[in-house]
Amino acid sequence: MAADISSMITLPCGVTVKNRIAKAPMTEGLADSMNRATERHVTLYRKWAEGGAGILVTGNVQVDRRFLERPGNVVIDKNGGLEELRAFAAAGTVNNTLLFMQIGHAGRQTPRRVNPRPVAPSEISMTLPDSMFAAPRALTSDEVEDVVKRFIHVATVAKETGFSGVQIHAAHGYLISEFLSPLANQREDKWGGSLENRARLLREVVQGIRSAVGKGYPISVKLNSSDFQKGGFSHEDCLQVVKWLEEDTVDLLEISGGNYENPAMMVGARGADEIRSTTVAREAYFMGYAKNIRNATSIPLMVTGGFRSRNAMDVALEEGDVDIIGIGRPLCVDTDAPNQLLSDADSAAIAYEQQIKPPKAGLGWFCLNIIRIADGLEPDRNMTGDAAMAAYLENEEKTASALERRVI
């Protein structure tokens, strides 16, 4: 029987998802000065849970307060906040919704303002002009082992505080993705060199989390289909890593691509092979790669990036190359977009990015609307791109200043 977005799906661990729509992970920046969850997370995630998605994946929850994706990240690192996490989880699991905590480490993509000396597999700086990211130092082998322990600890806390599952962030140029890349990882120890060694950090994290949380708790991985950089983590590398992840009992694989140096996750990408539906080809960034990955694994696949119409979503599910549809930016404005899609076969989520001028202001525009919803306000659909970026930068400055005054 062909699946559509209203179909239930049971993950390999035995947990059932009520439908095939997932809120994709998006950065929130709502933590307090000690990087703990707040009432704003509760407000925001209750709205998203009431909106109808089967799965909500949080934005980056970091394993180390020294290395953040942005100042307002939630972190689980001896900073308390367990009751706040329980409230967060309770809000995000109303309406029979599954809430997955995305767990990450920013690595060399830690902003200079957060830490002027980030860490990475090797001492290789990012190839960005006027970079907001400082030159990294290489982690010692003992420090890499500590990173593994931190991921396992955070996953254990996620389970204990009521989150339905976890997602390991191994994409977009953050630390685990850096280890996978031969451009960023030029180590000569057991953590570098061959693909097997470069994937060791990811696999030890997955295996350690599985041992800690048990067989019945969902573990997801967000993985690049490719870094889209010459000499970087390739699609062929991805296919092999996916096979290893199936051996390691991963329950859901979210397919993405790119990093800050080549942000395919923001601007879209296409697989080299043909995509059978022109409707899907027009909307979904990574479906060409998902088709190849489907041939390599039986792990349920989630594809995020570009999907807007229910028709394209249903066609992709019917063709069998994807199992769950990830939606991101529309939910920054229309928190009930999943319910709208589920209730009308001819519906589509609004592509707000098409109205933002200049387009580069999109980050600020969507982030500001997330903050508005978290503050109990209506989203501002008429906000200009310039006004959004100005307000976003002001918010980041305020959050960063509070971060600098804390004591770790």
pLDDT digits 0-9 by tens, 10-35:
999 999 999 999 999 999 999 999 99
Average pLDDT, the chain: 90
Euclidean distance between CA atoms 69 and 402, whole angstroms: 16
Helices (H), 251-361: 264-267, 278-283, 287-296, 310-319, 337-343
Euclidean distance between CA atoms 27 and 396, whole angstroms: 12
Q: Which domains does the chain have, with CATH numbers?
A: 9-354 (3.20.20.70)
What is the per-residue pLDDT for 393? 86
Assess whether pLDDT exceeds 70 at residue 405: no
Euclidean distance between CA atoms 301 and 291, whole angstroms: 10
3-state secondary structure of 318: helix
In this structure, are residues 213 and 248 in contact, taking their beta carbons and an 8 Å threshold? Answer: no
Phi, psi of 21 (to 5 degrees): -105, 130
Q: Where are the beta strands (DSSP E) in 24-176?
A: 55-57, 61-62, 74-75, 98-104, 119-120, 137-138, 165-170
Verdict on whether the full-model pTM lies above 0.85? yes
Write b or e for each residue in 177-188: b if 16 or more Cβ atoms lie within 10 A of its Cβ, otherwise e: bbbbbbbbbebe
Mean of pLDDT values over 81-108: 98
Tallying the residues shown for the chain, one arrives at: 408
In this structure, are residues 21 and 27 in contact, taking their beta carbons and an 8 Å threshold? Answer: no
What is the per-residue pLDDT for 270? 39
Q: What confidence tier does 279 reach under pLDDT thresholds 50, 70, 90?
A: very low
What is the per-residue pLDDT for 278? 46
Q: List, in order, residues 6 or more apart from 344 with CB less than 8 Å away.
A: 310
Mean of pLDDT values over 88-93: 98
Q: pLDDT: is 209 or 388 the higher one? A: 209
What is the per-residue pLDDT for 333? 96
Window from 109-113, 158-162, 333-337 with minimum mean pLDDT: 109-113
Assess whether pLDDT exceeds 50 at residue 317: yes
> What pLDDT digit, counting tens, does each position of 258-272 carry?
655 555 444 444 333
Q: pLDDT: is 402 or 130 the higher one? A: 402
